[in-house]
């Protein structure tokens, strides 16, 4: 029994509950509590990462009910990596939110903690139904965060986001029902055992359940053709929320990686590799749509939201191979893209606050801090499109290299390289418009406090850091991928 697996779930839960009870206390109190919890969560995540990197899969049976009958939490390298990325992004977003974005909504901090609870739970759970429950926790917190202050432009995007996700949840339940009806279990490890022995007569049912799950996770991960909700929702979210949402799509990515390597992986007999024919083509389509959106964006927020879509396409171009190299490359890229796009959402908000034209891409007054924001924008742009010397390049190269020899290699290479080119064109046009073609500065913009750029810089600094640490990190993501492909490791850790 490793009780420490509970920490990433219990910590935000208790903090969130306390924040709800103390909703009328001063903002300073809530900020201190929330920031303290985020710091503790990061420390916990580092501790768990060290624990998981020993290579064993750890599990915790809630209430002492042994799996497959009870509910389990499972920690392996992938879960630990996702926990760490989430907690770092949450810490930076929370710091930025404390610069003033958290003031209008009284329960902002509580919702933020519940969002973290849902995210961490989804990464740790070893049970399909609990994955559904944590998805719902995460989603309902995200509805609250997205729609706070009740601005009119958020109503429409919010309504679409909520209704689509509710429909997605219903599909999820249908898939879970079919899986339980045929295989008689919901524990992921037990599902993997039972799916490999499925009777040929039942295989079509299980395959359809698996593909229904793929639809649900693709909706969360905004794979084409299920990406329409993302740009308006992310573009209208408050900046720290949009930054945290950068990891929300990664939950869909995580679920796809987990389910289609463990349960429906190569060793699953009649239901092996059900996702393989779908993910890579969808990834390439996502890249094309994301690129078109990037080129057509008329404001910075939408531009960054489409950059998220584009990065998800690149990510799935690695995952869709379902090989050790592909997964390892994609996981390196995942760390990079989550932190950098999170930083970009915050940066865009800083820019918008200091300009007279907000974030619209048209010539206007100068920003109040052109040198600072300009260099941050340069770093972010270089990192996100994958120019040397920053981490986007390393990630993309790894994915391209993993794609060598795959049947769709020509398409993958062409589309990834062309989308990079389109990204360069758009971002250099946006950068020169924002920082060079400017009139006099807007008079006394009511900007954020002077230190608000610090969390932005910290997130964007992750990119050069990821290049410096590329050696150990790629080794680690390779270990993650090897552990994912070795389902025996997971089964041994859970079913013992």
Partner 1 sequence: MEVLLAVVVGVLVAAGVYLLLRRRSFSVVLGLVLLSYAVNLFLFAMGRLRTDQPPLIHAGGSYADPLPQALVLTAIVIGFGMTAFVLVLALQALGNLGSDRVDARPEDPP
CB of 186 to partner 1, least distance (A): 8
162 binds partner 1 (CB under 8 A): yes
Decide whether 156 or 437 has the Cβ nearer to partner 1: 156
Q: Residues 19 to 58: which contact partner 1 by CB under 8 A? A: none
Number of Cβ within 10 Å of residue 129's Cβ equals: 17
Buried b (16+ CB within 10 A) or exposed e, 281-302: ebbbbbbbbbbebbeebebbbb
Nearer to partner 1, 152 or 450 (CB): 152
Which of 12, 68, 158, 168 is close enough to bind partner 1 by CB under 8 A?
Answer: 158
CB of 479 to partner 1, least distance (A): 35
CB 72 within 8 A of CB 66: no
Q: Which residues contact 185 (CB under 8 A, 6 or more apart)?
A: 68, 191, 194
Among 39, 66, 103, 163, binds partner 1 (CB under 8 A): 163
Q: What x/- string results for residues 180 through 199 when contact with partner 1 is judged by CB under 8 A?
A: xx------------------
Q: Does 411 bind partner 1 (CB under 8 A)?
A: no
Nearer to partner 1, 129 or 413 (CB): 129
Min separation Cβ 368 and partner 1, Å: 29
- Choose between 49 and 205: whose C-beta lies nearer to partner 1: 205
Q: How far is the CB of 400 from partner 1 (least distance, A)?
A: 39
Separation between Cα atoms, residue 286 and residue 280, nearest integer Å: 10
By the 8 A CB rule, do 108 and 170 touch?
no
In angstroms, the CA 391 to CA 465 distance is: 8
* Binding window for partner 1 (CB under 8 A); candidates: 158-166, 258-266, 288-296, 453-461: 158-166
| DSSP states of 297-358 | -SBHHHHHHHHHHHHHHHHHHHHTT-SHHHHHHHHHHHHHHHHHHHHHHHHHHHHHHH-TTT
Beta-strand relationship, 58-61 and 72-75: antiparallel
Which 95-154 residues touch partner 1, going by CB under 8 A?
129, 133, 136, 140, 143, 147, 150-153
The residue behind tokens 């930025």 is 96
Question: Radius of gyration (Cα) for the chain, nearest Å?
Answer: 22
CB of 230 to partner 1, least distance (A): 17
Of 80 and 237, CB closest to partner 1: 237
Answer yes or no: are the C-beta atoms of 242 and 302 closer than 8 Å. no
Does the protein bind partner 1 through residue 226 (CB under 8 A)?
no
4 lies in the site for partner 1, by CB under 8 A: no
Residue 32 vs 159, nearer CB to partner 1: 159
225 binds partner 1 (CB under 8 A): no
d(CA 352, CA 199): 58
Residues 6+ apart with CB under 8 A from 287: 310, 313, 314, 317, 415, 416, 419
Exactly one of 66, 103, 159, 421 binds partner 1 (CB under 8 A); that residue is 159
State the minimum distance, in angstroms, from the CB of residue 160 to partner 1.
7
Pick between residue 170 and residue 468 the one whose CB is nearest to partner 1.
170
| Host H or E run for residue 60 | strand 58-61
Closer Cβ to partner 1, 176 or 239, answer by number: 176
Q: Give 34 or 142: the residue with its C-beta nearer to partner 1.
A: 142
Residue bearing tokens 């992921």: 188
Q: Between residues 38 and 209, which has the closer beta carbon with respect to partner 1?
A: 209
Q: Which is nearer to partner 1, 140 or 211 (CB)?
A: 140
Site for partner 1 in 164-183 (CB under 8 A): 166-167, 169-170, 173-174, 176-178, 180-181
Q: Give the nearer residue to partner 1 in terms of CB position, either 228 or 451.
A: 228
70 forms part of the interface with partner 1 (CB under 8 A): no
8 Å CB contact between 114 and 141: yes
SS3 224: coil
CA angle centred on 47, ends 41 and 48, rounded to 5°: 90
- Residues 300-339: x/- map of binding to partner 1 (CB under 8 A)? ----------------------------------------
66 touches partner 1 (CB under 8 A) = no
Tell me which DSSP letter residue 437 carries: S
Based on the shown chain and the rule CB under 8 A, indicate whether residue 160 belongs to the binding site for partner 1. Answer: yes
Torsion, Cα of 393, 397, 403, 405 (10° steps):
150
Contacting positions for partner 1 (CB under 8 A): 129, 133, 136, 140, 143, 147, 150-153, 155-156, 158-160, 162-163, 166-167, 169-170, 173-174, 176-178, 180-181
């Amino acid at each position: 029994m490793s009780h420490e697996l509970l920490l990433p779930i219990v910590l935000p839960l208790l903090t969130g509950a306390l924040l709800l009870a103390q909703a009328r206390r001063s903002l300073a109190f809530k900020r201190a509590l929330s920031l303290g919890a985020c710091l503790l969560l990061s420390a916990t995540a580092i501790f768990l990462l060290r624990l998981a990197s020993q290579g064993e899969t750890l599990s915790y049976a809630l209430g002492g009910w042994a799996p497959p009958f009870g509910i389990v939490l499972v920690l392996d390298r992938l879960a630990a990596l996702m926990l760490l990325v989430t907690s770092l992004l949450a810490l930076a977003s929370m710091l930025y939110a404390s610069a003033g974005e958290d003031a209008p909504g009284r329960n902002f901090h509580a919702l933020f903690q519940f969002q973290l609870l849902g995210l961490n739970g989804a990464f740790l759970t070893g049970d399909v139904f609990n994955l559904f429950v944590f998805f719902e926790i995460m989603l309902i917190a995200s509805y609250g965060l997205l729609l706070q202050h009740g601005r009119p432009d958020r109503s429409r995007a919010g309504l679409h986001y909520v209704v689509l996700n509710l429909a997605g949840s219903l599909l999820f339940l249908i898939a879970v029902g079919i899986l339980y009806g045929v295989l008689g279990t919901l524990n992921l490890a037990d599902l993997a055992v039972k799916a490999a022995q499925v009777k040929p007569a039942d295989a079509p049912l299980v395959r359809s359940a698996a593909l229904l799950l793929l639809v649900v996770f693709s909706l969360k991960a905004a794979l084409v053709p299920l990406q329409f909700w993302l740009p308006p929702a992310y573009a209208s979210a408050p900046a720290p929320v949009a930054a945290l949402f950068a990891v929300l799509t990664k939950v869909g990515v995580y679920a796809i990686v987990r389910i289609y390597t463990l349960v429906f992986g190569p060793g699953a007999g009649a239901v092996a590799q059900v996702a393989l024919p779908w993910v890579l083509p969808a990834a390439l389509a996502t890249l094309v749509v994301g690129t078109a959106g990037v080129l057509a964006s008329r404001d910075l927020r939408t531009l960054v939201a489409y950059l998220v879509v584009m990065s998800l396409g690149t990510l799935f171009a690695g995952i869709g191979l379902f090989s050790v190299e592909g997964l390892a490359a994609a996981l390196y890229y995942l760390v990079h893209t989550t932190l950098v796009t999170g930083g970009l959402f915050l940066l865009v908000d800083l820019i918008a606050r200091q300009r007279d034209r907000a974030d619209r891409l048209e010539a206007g007054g100068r920003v109040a801090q052109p040198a600072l924001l300009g260099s941050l924008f340069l770093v972010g742009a270089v990192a996100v499109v994958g120019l040397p010397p920053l981490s986007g390049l390393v990630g993309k190269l790894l994915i391209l290299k993993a794609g060598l020899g795959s049947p769709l290699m020509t398409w993958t290479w062409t589309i990834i390289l062309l989308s990079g080119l389109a990204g360069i064109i758009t971002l250099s046009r946006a950068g020169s418009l924002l920082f060079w073609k400017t009139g006099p500065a807007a008079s006394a913009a009511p900007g954020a406090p002077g230190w608000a750029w610090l969390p932005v810089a910290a997130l964007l600094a992750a990119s050069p850091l990821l290049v410096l640490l590329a050696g150990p990190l790629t080794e680690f993501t390779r270990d993650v991928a090897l552990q994912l492909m070795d389902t025996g490791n997971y089964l041994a850790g859970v079913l013992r």
